[in-house]
Amino acid sequence: MIDITLGSFGIPESITSWEVSSEPYLVDHRHILFTLRGSGTLRLIRNTRGTNWGSFREGLTNRLERGPQMNMKDEDDVGLAVHWVQQDLILAYECNYSLTLLKQVDNL
């Protein structure tokens, strides 16, 4: 899953390299690092200290309450429930953190 969409004309041609960070984040998400020609390295960092935990709890509760009713004796339903809760946790978190853009000037 990619969290960022580059929408400005000409941006794709300016990307000289990109990589998926080895830094772990949440469940299966990693930062994507890239260099724009002539601008240095840009990094988007999630600021977990700025997370609105009250809003996170409220959003998670709302999402879980809207979830489907499942027969937890059925193996397929247990797997679906685990996936549903995992996705709700991720979405609730992603709606309540802040992003910080860091720019590092490359030595050319």
Q: What are the pLDDT digits (tens) for 77-100? A: 888 888 888 989 988 888 888 777
pTM over 0.75? The answer is: no
Starting from the edge strand earliest in sequence, which strands make up the sheet with 98-104, in order? Answer: 15-20, 32-36, 40-47, 98-104
Neighbours of 64 (CB within 10 A): 13
For residues 85-95, one letter each, b for 16 or more C-beta atoms within 10 angstroms of the residue's C-beta and e for the rest, the string is eeebbeebbee
Judge whether 101 and 42 are in contact, CB under 8 Å: yes
Is the predicted pLDDT of residue 107 greater than 50, yes or no?
no
